Amino acid sequence: MATSSLVSFLCLSSPKTKFRPMAALNKSSRTYELKKGQTRLYHKLPSGLKMEVIEQRKEKDERRRRSEKENPPLVFVHGSYHAAWCWAEHWLPFFSSSGFDSYAISLLGQGESDEPLGTVAGTLETHASDIANFIESNLSSSPPPVVIGHSFGGLIVQYYLANISNKQPLVTEATNAYPDISGAVLVCSVPPSGNSGLVLRYLFTKPVAAFKVTLSLAAKRFQTSIPLCRETFFSSAMDDHLVQRYQDLMKESSRMPLFDLKKLNASLPVPKPKENSTNVLVLGAKDDFIVDDEGLKETGRFYDAEPVCIEGVAHDMMLDCSWEEGAEVLLYWLSKPRNLPA
């Protein structure tokens, strides 16, 4: 089996529990329906392209109750084969009800965002710059946000972290540096060196899993196989109808690859921040089918952060049967003054 084909593996997990899905595919418009309190925005980038953002502001009672302390807004960044809807399903309602204005971005070429020219959606640099432009344009009057990235979205957040601390200008606006952020959260993130190390470990230690990863993601069989989709992204307890609902959303979400993986891997590892003043939470899943324990530890070492590995959840932590587990850990981390600047 060629290593190059395996390198096409993207964000994943391991997978029957019955609960009603909140995000639903609207068959007539080919979009998905939002829940009460959510708004779909379209942020216009300097290029003229528009980026979908699902917004859910904190509840009015929470605004009054927490008026003495303004929580930072939360900005959520998805990984491959996903879009903003994956956060809108559970985590946006959870965190907005906990007092946080929450924004989930669909990267270009994903969800309802515009498609750029070319065959791929962008690079680490362009995706991070798009996030920075959204923050600068929409959240400048708030406390600096906490940015949360999942899987390859976590790698984009890592690139953002490196460039904010190194004060690099935006690729789209050479006069402006990346806006400050209050914290960063890496959820089942691809490690700083990329997925090549993960691929090699799978080849030598888990050849059957390596084959399944390639079949599921490189060959996109997760789009047609319920069992393979479950094993790739979810816990084994997730019910078939729910896996199929998310499978349909994934098929509609990603109209072009996030990256050229060959070029991406050649550009890694991401630069290490020179001044790592931003606190980082490294969050992993015990049943993650993609990012193994060593990958999680690598990310923790890179940011001098002790990883938190959550039992009973898979790669798509924010969608899985026990999605509350990861949300509660993140909420606890956000509540600690030592983790976020005053």
Residue 174 structure tokens: 């050479």
The pLDDT value given to residue 196: 75
- pLDDT (tens digit per residue) in 50-83: 999 999 999 776 555 555 578 999 999 999 999 9
Q: What percentage of the chain exceeds 90 in pLDDT?
A: 65
pLDDT at 341 over 80: no
Answer with the residue of higher pLDDT: 290 or 219: 290
Mean pLDDT of 156-167: 85
Name which residue leads in pLDDT, 200 or 126. 126
CATH of 36-57+68-333, one of 3.90.550.10, 3.30.70.2740, 3.40.50.1820, 3.40.50.1100: 3.40.50.1820
DSSP 3-state of 77: strand
pTM: 0.86
For the chain, where are the E strands, in sequence order? 24-26, 31-33, 38-44, 50-56, 74-77, 102-105, 146-150, 183-187, 279-285, 308-310
Range 22-31 average pLDDT: 48
pLDDT of residue 286 exceeding 70, the answer is yes
- What are the residue boundaries of the structural domains of the chain, listed by start? 36-57+68-333
* pLDDT tens-digit series, residues 34-53: 999 999 999 999 999 999 99
> Does position 338 have pLDDT exceeding 80, yes or no?
no
* 45-59, 116-130, 144-158, 194-208: least confident range: 194-208
- Contact of 107 with 84, CB cutoff 8 Å: no
Per-residue pLDDT band at 197 (split at 50, 70, 90): confident
Where residue 6 falls among pLDDT bands split at 50, 70, 90?
very low
Range picked from 166-180, 216-230, 303-317 for highest mean pLDDT: 303-317
| Distance separating alpha carbons of residues 145 and 180, to the nearest angstrom | 8
Q: What is the mean pLDDT of residues 194-198?
A: 78
| pLDDT at 25 exceeding the cut of 50 | no
Contact predicate 46/133, CB 8 Å: yes
The residue that leads in pLDDT, 267 or 276, is 267
- CB–CB of 229/212 below 8 Å? no
| pLDDT of 328 strictly over 50 | yes
- The SS3 assignment for 118 reads coil
> What is the per-residue pLDDT for 32?
80
CB 14, CB 236: distance < 8 Å: yes
Query: pLDDT at residue 27 above 50?
Result: no
pLDDT at 247 over 90: yes
pLDDT in tens, 173-190: 444 579 999 999 999 999
Indicate the range of 24-33, 35-44, 214-223, 251-260 predicted with least confidence.
24-33
What's the pLDDT band for 222 if we cut at 50, 70, 90? confident
Mean pLDDT, rounded, of the chain: 84
**What pLDDT band is residue 316 in, cutting at 50, 70 and 90?**
very high
From the list 73, 122, 97, the residue with the least C-alpha distance to 254 is 122
209 Rama sector, left if φ>0, alpha if ψ -120 to 50, beta otherwise: alpha
